[in-house]
Amino acid sequence: MNAHELWQRYQTYLLSDADTGLILDVSRMAFTDDFLASLEPAMQRAFDAMERLEAGEIANPDENRMVGHYWLRSPELAPDPAIAAAIRETVKRVTAFAADVHAGAVTAPGGRPFRNVLVIGIGGSALGPQFVADALGGPNDRMRPFFFDNTDPDGMDRVLETLGGDGLAETLAIVISKSGGTKETRNGMLEAEAAYRRAGLDFSRHAVAVTGAGSELDRTAEAGGWLYRFPMWDWVGGRTSETSAVGLLPAALQGIPIGDFLDGARVCDILTRRRETLRNPAALLALMWHHATGGSGSRDMVVLPYKDRLLLFSRYLQQLIMESIGKELDLAGAVVNQGLTVYGNKGSTDQHAYVQQLREGTNNFFVAFIEVLKDREGVSLAVEPGFTSGDYLSGFLQGTRTALSEKGRESLTITIPAVTPRTVGVLVALFERAVGLYASLVNINAYHQPGVEAGKKAAGSVLALKGEAIAFLRREGAPLTAPEIAAALGRPEEAETIFRSLLHAAANPDHGVVMTAASPLARSRFSAR
Ligand SMILES: O=P(O)(O)OC[C@H]1O[C@H](O)[C@H](O)[C@@H](O)[C@@H]1O
């Protein structure tokens, strides 16, 4: 296509919406009108399915659950008045709690104000809060946000050292877990509790829980007399929980106007309920994913926001999309191994890293550019006559889009006016809807994650075996190799697991395991005190 044809194509498909401020350009995706026509019946069925989902159908059949994240910003749509009331009540309680903390009506013991918030959670209980905190936070935050989002001891130490013992005295800890039983989060909570204790503080007077009623975490918080408990509901998935208390509480405490955030999601929901495919940006996104990947995940989506504040968006989207779309079976039970791989950081930074491959290497991707029109508050410096840093950022986005297109590499561009609580809400809702519609197009359940359990179960057996091996070594005394230990435990097939576990144990002072290294390494001997 020549420049004139591309300009025509750009105008033909350009979708812009005044309420959300969204502009979506799919002109650099090489779909045909026939493609759109061929998928139109399936898209209409996807809209039907979405309407049933929003009306409260069991849209997550494997877990026998409704899927209600859209109600969180439009409670009047909830199929049950009790659900609507619970949503409204929770937003009110979140707002009131944050206001009380800010006003000093809720304080740490001794009347010390809470100045920091430590969020302890993982996956859907961390990625959204982290994205929003980074996108919308700054030096004027009401409270400074910190995160434990892993069971990495050094990672937690680093956060605690940054906070310092005295900082901890002014830190509110929010433990977030929908299930209330996630081990990483449980460990983070125990590590935090111990850190507070070392600082002479009572964790329970600093702790808040966001979790399902009656969960292990809920019971711990209740028994411990924690400051507050906020609910999570089984009809909200972890990765779509950013507009529930999971996302709202940390954001409100940080000082982010959660009403604007919810409103952005709500207006985007209205937009993405449109049944005219070409006027619905979530439907268009889903169609583009289908076009680019043949409806089978054959290409990766590289998310490139040209804005530092949106750096964590690709990480957030990775869970939202890959945990939703990456499925072995379709709804009919056939093996499909679906997926849509997502990666990316930010432009123009990534232009100095992997964009070389995007332009010239394997053509196994398409790019989702995220463009933000507003450069900064106020006027910018002219870094050379007539041009600002922001002009460069914008120019680099356009340049990369053109350079990719020239080489037959596809891209779409999502433009928002500025990074605000409202537009961040729009982006979250846009992709939530796109995921749901796309899942319908390829006939999978977007709302369960059966594959995640396998790794957790395997980790449980690994830990049990490690415990057995160390206990055996303590009884035994003499240094032994992993196969010898495995054989003695009656588990000869587990030599590798035992070797790897003891290699780790010997690198740390916790278990008294000593390794006498051999060559080859796998013949090393272990003993334990
Ligand atoms: O919120 P939680 O119940 O602690 O779950 C945290 C995360 O853990 C699991 O492994 C799931 O795969 C995620 O979808 C979830 O967001």
Give the number of domains in the chain. 3
Q: Residue 107 pLDDT > 90, yes or no?
A: yes
Domain limit, last residue, from 420, 448, 476: 448
Inside any domain, residue 29: yes
The answer to whether residues 360 and 407 belong to one domain is yes
Cβ–ligand 1 distance for 459 under 6 Å, the answer no
Q: For residue 19, report the distance from its CA to the centre of ligand 1, in Å.
A: 33
Q: For residue 123, report the distance from its CA to the centre of ligand 1, in Å.
A: 5
Give the domain range for residue 498.
451-528
* Candidates 4, 76, 276, 352; catalytic one: 352
Cβ–ligand 1 distance for 382 under 6 Å, the answer no
Q: For residue 269, report the distance from its CA to the centre of ligand 1, in Å.
A: 24
Inside any domain, residue 231: yes
Q: Express the helix, strand and coil content of the chain in percent, nearest 5 each.
A: 55, 15, 30
Q: Report the atom number in ligand 1 closest to the C-alpha of 238.
A: 16
CATH number of the domain where residue 242 is located: 3.40.50.10490
**Confidence grade of residue 455 (pLDDT, cut at 50, 70, 90):** confident
Inside any domain, residue 245: yes
Give residue-wise pLDDT tens across range 287-330.
999 999 999 999 999 999 999 999 999 999 999 999 999 999 99
What would the two tokens of residue 332 be? Answer: 């009919």
* Candidates 92, 374, 456, 504; catalytic one: 456
Q: For residue 186, report the distance from its CA to the centre of ligand 1, in Å.
A: 12
Cross-strand partners of 369: 304, 413
Tell me, yes or no, if 493 is annotated catalytic. no
Tell me, yes or no, if 323 is annotated catalytic. yes
The answer to whether residues 211 and 311 belong to one domain is no
Q: How far is CA 44 from CA 51, 165, 275, 378, 489, in A?
A: 11, 57, 7, 45, 59
The answer to whether residues 152 and 40 belong to one domain is no
Give residue-wise pLDDT tens across range 377-412.
999 999 999 999 999 999 999 999 999 999 999 999
Q: Region 265-293: what's the mean pLDDT?
A: 98
C-alpha 231 chain-centroid distance: 19
Q: How far is CA 458 from CA 461, 491, 497, in A?
A: 5, 15, 11
Under 8 Å between Cβ of 470 and 511: yes
Tell me, yes or no, if 352 is annotated catalytic. yes
Q: How far is CA 460 from CA 17, 463, 466, in A?
A: 49, 5, 10
The answer to whether residues 130 and 275 belong to one domain is no
Pocket test of ligand 1: the residue of 125, 147, 318 to mutate, having most ligand atoms within 8 Å of its CB, is 125
Inside any domain, residue 88: yes
Query: What is the CB neighbour count within 10 angstroms for residue 91?
Result: 21
Domain limit, last residue, from 226, 256, 286: 256
| Distance, CA of 225 to CA of 205 (rounded, Å) | 8
Which residue minimizes the CA distance to atom 16 of ligand 1?
124
Q: How far is CA 136 from CA 20, 127, 394, 414, 489, in A?
A: 17, 14, 21, 19, 54
The answer to whether residues 201 and 146 belong to one domain is yes
Helix (H, G, I), strand (E, B) or coil at 250: helix
Cross-strand partners of 176: 210
Element housing 481 (H / E):
strand 480-481
Pocket test of ligand 1: the residue of 63, 177, 178 to mutate, having most ligand atoms within 8 Å of its CB, is 178
Q: For residue 330, report the distance from its CA to the centre of ligand 1, in Å.
A: 22
**Confidence grade of residue 456 (pLDDT, cut at 50, 70, 90):** confident
CATH number of the domain where residue 482 is located: 1.10.10
Inside any domain, residue 64: no
Q: Residue 238 pLDDT > 90, yes or no?
A: yes
Pairing mode, if any, of strands 171-177 and 365-372? Answer: unpaired
Under 8 Å between Cβ of 315 and 429: no
The answer to whether residues 344 and 456 belong to one domain is no
Cβ–ligand 1 distance for 123 under 6 Å, the answer yes
509 class by beta-carbon count within 10 Å (0-12 exposed, 13-18 middle, 19+ buried): exposed
Q: How far is CA 525 from CA 286, 430, 490, 517, 521, in A?
A: 55, 55, 18, 7, 9
Cβ–ligand 1 distance for 177 under 6 Å, the answer yes
What is the side-by-side order of every strand in the sheet holding 342-343? 15-16, 23-25, 411-416, 365-372, 300-305, 342-343
Cβ–ligand 1 distance for 124 under 6 Å, the answer yes
Q: How far is CA 506 from CA 131, 461, 466, 494, in A?
A: 37, 19, 12, 18
Q: Residue 215 pLDDT > 90, yes or no?
A: yes
The answer to whether residues 87 and 229 belong to one domain is yes
pLDDT score, position 349: 95
Cβ–ligand 1 distance for 122 under 6 Å, the answer yes
Residues 6+ apart with CB under 8 A from 8: none
Pocket test of ligand 1: the residue of 62, 215, 249, 452 to mutate, having most ligand atoms within 8 Å of its CB, is 452
Give residue-wise pLDDT tens across range 122-167.
999 999 999 999 999 999 999 999 999 999 999 999 999 999 889 9
The answer to whether residues 86 and 34 belong to one domain is no
Q: Residue 457 pLDDT > 90, yes or no?
A: no
Task: List the one residue out of 362, 382, 318, 319 whose CA is nearest residue 344.
Answer: 318
pLDDT score, position 147: 98
Under 8 Å between Cβ of 488 and 481: no
206 class by beta-carbon count within 10 Å (0-12 exposed, 13-18 middle, 19+ buried): buried
Inside any domain, residue 36: yes
The answer to whether residues 105 and 145 belong to one domain is yes
Residues 6+ apart with CB under 8 A from 299: 292, 293, 364, 365, 366
Pocket test of ligand 1: the residue of 186, 449, 453, 457 to mutate, having most ligand atoms within 8 Å of its CB, is 449
Q: For residue 316, report the distance from its CA to the centre of ligand 1, in Å.
A: 13
Q: For residue 125, report the distance from its CA to the centre of ligand 1, in Å.
A: 7
Cβ–ligand 1 distance for 182 under 6 Å, the answer yes
Give residue-wise pLDDT tens across range 53-65.
999 999 999 999 9
Pairing mode, if any, of strands 525-528 and 513-516? Answer: antiparallel
Q: Region 463-476: what's the mean pLDDT?
A: 97
What would the two tokens of residue 63 be? Answer: 């877990």
* Candidates 191, 242, 323, 432; catalytic one: 323
**Confidence grade of residue 280 (pLDDT, cut at 50, 70, 90):** very high
The answer to whether residues 148 and 36 belong to one domain is no
The answer to whether residues 271 and 250 belong to one domain is no
Domain limit, last residue, from 204, 228, 256: 256
Q: Report the atom number in ligand 1 closest to the C-alpha of 179.
A: 3
Q: Region 98-115: what's the mean pLDDT?
A: 97
Query: What is the CB neighbour count within 10 angstroms for residue 266?
Result: 22
User: Does the interface ipTM go beyond 0.85?
Assistant: yes
Inside any domain, residue 317: yes
Which residue minimizes the CA distance to atom 2 of ligand 1?
177
Give the amino acid at 20.
Answer: T
pLDDT score, position 165: 80
The answer to whether residues 338 and 252 belong to one domain is no
Instruction: Residue count of the chain, please give it.
Output: 529
Q: Report the atom number in ligand 1 closest to the C-alpha of 237.
A: 14
What would the two tokens of residue 523 be? Answer: 């013949």
Q: How far is CA 314 from CA 295, 357, 419, 473, in A?
A: 21, 19, 15, 45
Q: What is the mean pLDDT of the chain?
A: 97
Q: For residue 118, report the distance from its CA to the centre of ligand 1, in Å.
A: 18
Pocket test of ligand 1: the residue of 179, 185, 189 to mutate, having most ligand atoms within 8 Å of its CB, is 179
pLDDT score, position 454: 86
| Distance, CA of 263 to CA of 267 (rounded, Å) | 6
Q: Region 340-365: what's the mean pLDDT?
A: 95
Pairing mode, if any, of strands 480-481 and 387-388? Answer: unpaired
Residues 6+ apart with CB under 8 A from 259: 95
Cβ–ligand 1 distance for 323 under 6 Å, the answer yes
